[in-house]
Structure 1
Amino acid sequence: MSTMDLDQYKKAWDNQPESVEKLTALDIYKMSQSKSTSIVKWIFIIGLLEFAFWIGINYVVTQAGGFEPYERLNLMSFLNYTTYLHYAVILLFLVLFYRNYSAITTIDNTKTLMRKILKTRKTVKWYVYYNIISVIILSIILNILIINTPDGFSLLTGVENTNLTGGKMIAVLIVTQILTIGLMVLILWLIYYLLYGILLKKLNKNYKELSKLEENNE
């Protein structure tokens, strides 16, 4: 019975005699709760793995000297502070993910479960929005700082001699960074769609099934 698709199970429940309707409705609820709990648990696990992944990437880039151009621009203090702040916000979201998981495992009624599902979906969406928006804002601030730094273009790229001067350098830097930011945002969106979008769709499906179940019980 546990392997039966929730839609098929609900259809079978609709055709059950009234004497067993309440029992099967409870079984459907428990199945939906179990699926929702599993999805929210995976959201938390993926969040942890993602956090560890970005810390690892940051360490590798640091060891490989990837931040040396920003050291030449005296921007490392700014980058370090923003990185620590970013990690603190991510940890806050991970705490929220865990709280959502803990809360959803102890729910004993349909309406509360539906409310927790909506809260979980909202938390994940804000997490995705935060990551994408923070990349855009940080990139814009860095570009402003680079433009306002004497010889910022040369210090960043390591190119000492160039035919580009003044406004042309700034124009090239702005266009390059706009393209880079656009590519980064696209990649992030695809990553988050694959990591969290599929799980949120499954969670939304559970919500709709619970909503139908609640309507039938009224």
Structure 2
Amino acid sequence: MDKLDKLKENWQSKEHELPKVSFDRIYKMLLKKSSSIVKWIFVISIVELLFWISLYFILPEDNINMMKELGLERVMFYCEIFHFFIFGIFIILFYKNYKSIQVTDSTNVLMQNILNTRKTVRYFVYYNVGMAIAFSIAIDTYLYNNSEKLYEVMDFAKQGIPKEGFANIFIISQIIVGLIIIALLILFYWFVYGILLKKLKGNYKELKKINS
């Protein structure tokens, strides 16, 4: 039994004696826990953004040259700028949620802030997964339609890979790799943000109990 559970038990057993004091103590603890969770959401989103940016800078030069030859460099650049811009907006929203919860002095307002945070995180996850799916489909379609150029750029002939049926084999392998990456991304969001949202939901339920 943690400190919060003990406080709730004490509050329920002595509600007729010290309802105000016990209510305030439980509220402050739930406020502190909720604020900490939202802070972690904010911090993790920043770390995630830095991770994606770092991938851009450590991309092998051969990959960059390949994108240039395939005519994808400019498109990839603008897509990344757009993605990082939207990502930055979500980080700002997470920060605003964190600051809003920090200064909350009302149970109803805290409950609403928790709901807003959960909604923002869900939209954040939907956007990132949706973006990954859309990006994979767009790139795979482009490469499939330009498979002959891809075959030449990657110099598959020297590797002994036959040109016949190359496009179909390549696109199937791309789809499999894309599905694995998207599955790992979903798993990451489910594990990290899912746990934090579950804790926030628990706090919301406790606030609803003491507010009724």
Q: Same fold (TM over 0.5)?
A: yes
Matched, 1:121 2:118: yes
Aligned pairs for 1:113-192 (under 5 A) are: 113-149=110-146, 151-155=148-152, 157-160=154-157, 162-165=161-164, 168-192=165-189
Letter in 1 for 2:49: F
Are the equivalent residues in 2 in contact too, given 1:51–1:90 (CA < 8 A)? yes
- Structure 2 SS opposite 1:158: coil
2:41 to 33, 40, 43: 43
1:101 to 93, 98, 105: 98
Alignment TM-score, normalising by the size of structure 2: 0.92
Q: Indicate the residue corresponding to 2:56 in structure 1.
A: 58
Matched, 1:82 2:74: no
Are the equivalent residues in 2 in contact too, given 1:72–1:155 (CA < 8 A)? no
Alignment TM-score, normalising by the size of structure 1: 0.89
Are the equivalent residues in 1 in contact too, given 2:90–2:124 (CA < 8 A)? yes
- How far does residue 178 in structure 1 lie from its aligned partner after superposition? 1.5
2:20 to 19, 22, 47: 22
Are the equivalent residues in 2 in contact too, given 1:139–1:181 (CA < 8 A)? yes
Are the equivalent residues in 2 in contact too, given 1:153–1:173 (CA < 8 A)? no
Unaligned runs of 5+ in 2: none
- How far does residue 155 in structure 1 lie from its aligned partner after superposition? 4.3
Comparing 151-160 with 92-101, greater Cα deviation is found at: 151-160
- How far does residue 198 in structure 1 lie from its aligned partner after superposition? 1.5
Inter-partner Cα distance in structure 2 for 1:86 and 1:155: 30
Q: Summarize deviations over 1:107-143 as a string: whole Å, max 9, x none.
A: 1111111111011011111111111111110111111
Q: Indicate the residue corresponding to 1:7 in structure 2.
A: 5
Letter in 2 for 1:147: Y
Inter-partner Cα distance in structure 1 for 2:131 and 2:148: 26
Comparing 52-61 with 151-160, greater Cα deviation is found at: 151-160
- How far does residue 157 in structure 1 lie from its aligned partner after superposition? 4.0
Are the equivalent residues in 2 in contact too, given 1:69–1:158 (CA < 8 A)? no
Are the equivalent residues in 2 in contact too, given 1:70–1:156 (CA < 8 A)? no
Inter-partner Cα distance in structure 1 for 2:50 and 2:193: 17
Inter-partner Cα distance in structure 1 for 2:192 and 2:113: 20
Are the equivalent residues in 2 in contact too, given 1:110–1:210 (CA < 8 A)? yes
Q: Summarize deviations over 1:31-51 as a string: whole Å, max 9, x none.
A: 100100011011101111111
Are the equivalent residues in 2 in contact too, given 1:153–1:169 (CA < 8 A)? no
Over the matched positions of the two proteins, sequence identity in percent amounts to 35
Unaligned runs of 5+ in 1: none
Inter-partner Cα distance in structure 2 for 1:21 and 1:11: 12
- Structure 2 SS opposite 1:19: coil
Q: Summarize deviations over 1:157-179 as a string: whole Å, max 9, x none.
A: 431353242xx233212211211
